[in-house]
Amino acid sequence: MTIALILVVLLIIGTPVGVALGLAGLAGMFSIGGLHFASLAPAKVFNGLNIFPFLAMPFFILAGEIMNHTGITSRLVQFSQALVGHFRGGLAHSNMVASVFFSGITGAATADAAAFGRTLVPAMVEQGYSRPYACAVTAAGSIIGPTIPPSGLMVVYGSLMGVSIGGLFATGILPGLLICLVCMAIIAVFAKRKNLPKAAQRASLRQLLGHFKGSLLALLMPLIILGGIVSGIVTPTEAASVAVAYALFIGSVVYRNLSFAALFRMLISTAQISAVIYLIIGAASIFGWWLSFNQIPQFIATFISQLSDNPNVILLLIIGLLLVVGMIMDINAMLIILAPVLVPLTEQIGMDPLHAGIIFVLALNISLMTPPVGACLFVLSSVTGEKLERISAELMPFLIGQLILLMFLAFTPEVTLFIPRLLGY
């Protein structure tokens, strides 16, 4: 109880999540066996990070940095506007479609939120959208990024739980597209009530083909990644390095706007982002060891099992726990600490490992846009200067819609497993 209190206090006073987890875990190890146990912390960090597929994350991040620098983001937005910009609230619809395209480049919700917060939000405000609503649309669409492959969260989950990362990538395609459709439906329902601006004239077929041609190189990236993994030509880690090589080719040979100075800055940015993720994973390994030593995971699993023996009720309890804890803790840390506890419960109720994996990922992704610690909300608030509470208020319809979709997918495994089964997983 004391160690949990230490963690809570550290988080409240603003200590970075990775540092807070590490200090709390270290204090827990010291309380068990003094300096002898505490000296084991570096080994726990090493073991927590010594997982080969984790190498994929910095490669995917670097590929996204390069593709963003080459102007792919603006091309994807233009293509999205050509597709759906003629509807009422066309730029909001374009935001969602662009999030689908953008997800195949970065696989990170915060990267999506930051990119569109700087580009699409100002454009939406200029067309007459309120800034809180423009931020809410961007936040709602940002979680499409870590759902459709490539997804860093899926790499972590698959590596920890021994689940096929390629299979998880395939499982995320349909749910990601459904998130887009649900959000676009919500935009359409409230379009008249909110008096959303009517878009410009429908793009001609010639304009549509022109924008498609300009975006084709970006649209090919997820196909190359997933195709290489499914065909067995490359592993997920090798696919990530192929993505970097592809992005370098586009930037240096096709668009010719990638300089060594810019690449150096992107390498530094990639190292910084990766370091934060790895710090959290390593620190969570220490804290997770302390939890296991005190049999807290077993207690949680037993407690949930004793509440009901109904598989549907157990699944609801698992989802509820992920959503609630995700509101106050970093999702990477949550995944490392809770997945070993909750995944065995999904096995007990007969869930397919891929189905369980995508439900975990979706629930954690939704927590990225829920206050008080929704990372995407903080990014958008920082980038646009809009107040967090005003964004949260406009976000409610999207949040409710995505929660309903999550429940639908949780209890209809045949939907989530359709594509992976089609691909042989």
- Tens digit of each residue's pLDDT (9 = 90 or more) over 323-338: 887 776 777 777 888 8
Find tokens 């699993």 and name the residue: 301
| Confidence band for 319, pLDDT divided at 50, 70 and 90 | very high
How far is residue 416's CA from residue 234's CA, in Å, rounded to a whole number? 24
* Torsion sign across C-alpha atoms 274, 280, 281, 286: positive
Residue 25 within a domain: no
Structurally, the chain folds into a number of domains equal to: 1
Residue 37 within a domain: no
The DSSP-derived string for 222-252 is HHHHHHHHHTTSS-HHHHHHHHHHHHHHIII
- 200 pLDDT above the threshold of 80: no
Residue 371 within a domain: yes
Structure confidence at residue 177 (pLDDT): 94
Residue 33 within a domain: no
**75-108 tens-digit pLDDT:** 777 888 888 878 888 888 888 988 888 776 666 6
Residue 15 within a domain: no
**256-303 tens-digit pLDDT:** 888 889 899 989 988 887 887 788 778 878 887 787 787 777 777 778
* Torsion sign across C-alpha atoms 369, 285, 149, 147: negative
Whole-Å CA distances, 384 to 98, 302, 367, 378, 391? 19, 45, 21, 10, 11
Average pLDDT of the chain? 83
Lowest mean pLDDT among 119-123, 220-224, 347-351, 418-422: 220-224
Structure confidence at residue 1 (pLDDT): 61
Find tokens 């997983």 and name the residue: 425
**377-403 tens-digit pLDDT:** 877 887 788 887 888 889 999 999 999
Comparison of pLDDT for 175 and 327, the residue scoring more: 175
DSSP lists the bridge partners of residue 88 as 198
Structure confidence at residue 163 (pLDDT): 92
Residue 28 within a domain: no
Residue 88 within a domain: yes
| pTM, rounded to two decimals | 0.81
Lowest mean pLDDT among 34-38, 98-102, 162-166, 287-291: 34-38
How far is residue 390's CA from residue 12's CA, in Å, rounded to a whole number? 22
Mean pLDDT across 336-365 = 90
Structural domain that includes position 94? 50-422
Residue 401 within a domain: yes
- 372 pLDDT above the threshold of 70: no
